[in-house]
Chains A and B, each alone.
Chain A
Amino acid sequence: EAQVTQNPRYLITVTGKKLTVTCSQNMNHEYMSWYRQDPGLGLRQIYYSMNVEVTDKGDVPEGYKVSRKEKRNFPLILESPSPNQTSLYFCASSLSQGITEAFFGQGTRLTVV
């Protein structure tokens, strides 16, 4: 089954404790991206990757890092999480950005206390 898998689904952590949210897709998609969803603000892009070893900042990249060492994986790293990073995070992949469907993962609900 074609899918995008994120882990964990829920995470509560403390300020400053490094964490990683994993994202994996099995559709051989070149393009992957991370979004955060906050009430009233919609989906805002954090980082995206056009292919292996190619990443770029989205609209709200501050406080986040990503890596793309393999085509299927695109982890999101929070080196020192802060409460304002409490949000719902979605990973998405697509065959080619801008012209094809974006497939979203199930979402990760992150709470930073």
Chain B
Amino acid sequence: GENVEQHPSTLSVQEGDSAVIKCTYSDSASNYFPWYKQELGKRPQLIIDIRSNVGEKKDQRIAVTLNKTAKHFSLHITETQPEDSAVYFCAAAVYGNNRLAFGKGNQVVVIP
């Protein structure tokens, strides 16, 4: 089955700096890659996703890039703010196989 790995496990950044989290996946058939944000004590919520037919997607301060050849995708957060502090989960899925494989999560800490 699909194996998703996230690096680094913890990331501390100064407020205003950028944060980048990278995920690798194993199944070359995977074609859907969402990112979920989980604030302390809350449920995971989708913040951005990308499909295999595009290489980059942006939504205000966040962006996701996908490299299908290398089988990795990354979350980029620019101009970080304290409310960006959370655990971020990447995931990968193959359309039609009904399984969404999550990475172990990255703790992002934004230092004011």
**Interface residues of A, Cβ cutoff 8 Å to B:** 31, 33, 35, 40-45, 48, 50, 56, 58-59, 90, 97-99, 101-102, 104-107
**Interface residues of B, Cβ cutoff 8 Å to A:** 1, 32, 34, 36, 42-46, 49, 51, 89, 93-100, 102-105
User: Does B104 contact A97, Cβ atoms closer than 8 Å?
Assistant: no
Rank and list the top 6 A-B pairs by shortest CB-CB distance, nearest first: A42-B104, A98-B93, A104-B43, A43-B102, A97-B98, A101-B46
Identify the closest chain A residue to B4 (Cβ).
Answer: A42
User: Does B89 contact A43, Cβ atoms closer than 8 Å?
Assistant: yes
Contact of B44 among A50, A98, A99, A104 (CB under 8 A): A104
A60 smallest CB distance to B (angstroms): 12
Q: Give how many A-B residue pairs fall within 8 Å (CB-CB).
A: 58
User: Does B32 contact A104, Cβ atoms closer than 8 Å?
Assistant: no
Task: List 5 additional A-B contacts (Cβ < 8 Å) besides A50-B98, A98-B99, A99-B51.
Answer: A90-B43, A101-B46, A102-B36, A102-B46, A102-B100
Chain B residue numbers with a CB within 8 Å of A104 are: 43-45
A45 and B99 in contact, given A90-B44, A97-B93, A101-B46 (Cβ under 8 angstroms): yes
User: Does B43 contact A105, Cβ atoms closer than 8 Å?
Assistant: yes
Chain B residue numbers with a CB within 8 Å of A58 are: 99
User: Does A42 contact B43, Cβ atoms closer than 8 Å?
Assistant: no
How long is the Cα–Cα vector from A45 to B98 in the complex, in angstroms?
A: 11
Chain B residue numbers with a CB within 8 Å of A97 are: 93, 97-100
Contact of A42 among B89, B98, B99 (CB under 8 A): B89
How long is the Cα–Cα vector from A102 to B103 in the complex, in angstroms?
A: 15
User: Does A41 contact B43, Cβ atoms closer than 8 Å?
Assistant: no
User: Does B99 contact A99, Cβ atoms closer than 8 Å?
Assistant: no
Contact of B32 among A48, A90, A99 (CB under 8 A): A99
User: Does A48 contact B104, Cβ atoms closer than 8 Å?
Assistant: no
How long is the Cα–Cα vector from A99 to B33 in the complex, in angstroms?
A: 9
How long is the Cα–Cα vector from A42 to B101 in the complex, in angstroms?
A: 10
User: Does A42 contact B34, Cβ atoms closer than 8 Å?
Assistant: no
How long is the Cα–Cα vector from A41 to B5 in the complex, in angstroms?
A: 11
